[in-house]
Amino acid sequence: MMSFYFGRLVEIYPFFLKGLWMTSKIAFISLVSCTLIGFILGIFRSSNSLILKRVVGVYVAFVRGTPFVVQIFIIFFILPEWGIQLDAFAAALLAMAIMGSAFICEIVAGGINSISRGQWEAATSSGLTLIQQLRLVIIPQAMKVILPPLVGQYVLLIKDTSVVSVIGVMELTRVGWVTVVRIPEGLMVFSLVGILYFSISYPLILLSNYLERKMSM
């Protein structure tokens, strides 16, 4: 019996590759957007402006305090009520960007806050603009603190892409669901799903460990 299903599984293997491709696509696009937005929010969060700090703080608190599934449902089911139509793929990307950027924001703000005030003052006194101070002096030093948890966060975000299956995006987890209906070998099907996720995240886990060791030197 088992071998019979295994044969079927080999048959529909391309279907899994498609799911893997979709997962990679969502993961890649959202990692890039989360990083960009997360850095900007993190800079706001660590800025001297009380308003920016508070606004970003509320955003982060809200995102961290609600389940990701609920956030996706809000975006996918409630936005259309307000006349904003999004297909499942776009909704998934938007939800990922909102969720991931909040977590990355905290990591970036923590890194920036770890840099002593003297560095800001020295850069300020030389006549560098705020953007230059960040780009040339502060962020390069903060990266040492930011990088290891950032890569760790990437691993979490990649795994969180599985949640977007709930709105019907045909990514890896969804492929597993659909397959298991036709091939009732849950363990086998979802082991394969798990292995495919692991193949993306494990290199990043190794990278995170490596960075952790390297940066602590």
Partner 1 sequence: MIEFKNVNKWYGKLHVLNNINLKIPKGEVLVICGPSGSGKSTLIRCINRLEKIQDGQIIVNNTPVHDKATNLTKLRAEIGFVFQQFHLYPHMTVLRNVMLAPVNVKKMSKTEAEKISLAKLEQVGLTEKSGSYPAQLSGGQQQRVAIARGLVMSPEIMLFDEPTSALDPEMIGEVLDVMVNLVSEGMTMCVVTHEMGFAKKVADRVLFMDDGKIVETGTPSDFFDNPQTDRAAEFISKILTH
Helices within 66-185 (DSSP H only): 68-73, 88-113, 117-125, 130-132, 139-160, 172-182
| Residue 141 contacts partner 1 per CB under 8 A | yes
Residue 6 CA, distance from chain mean position = 33
| Residue 132 contacts partner 1 per CB under 8 A | yes
How is residue 1 annotated by DSSP? Answer: -
Stretch of 18-26, 32-40, 82-90, 136-144 lying at the interface with partner 1 (CB under 8 A): 136-144
Residue nearer to partner 1 on the CB measure, 52 or 128: 128
Nearest distance, CB of residue 136 and partner 1, angstroms: 6
Nearest distance, CB of residue 38 and partner 1, angstroms: 22
Stretch of 82-90, 135-143, 157-165, 193-201 lying at the interface with partner 1 (CB under 8 A): 135-143
| Residue 114 contacts partner 1 per CB under 8 A | no
Rounded-to-integer distance, Cα 216 and Cα 117, Å: 21
| Residue 136 contacts partner 1 per CB under 8 A | yes
Nearest distance, CB of residue 76 and partner 1, angstroms: 44
Nearest distance, CB of residue 146 and partner 1, angstroms: 13
Concatenate the DSSP letters of all residues of 163-217 into one string.
GGGGGT--SHHHHHHHHHHHS--HHHHHHHHHHHHHHHHHHHHHHHHHHHHHHT-
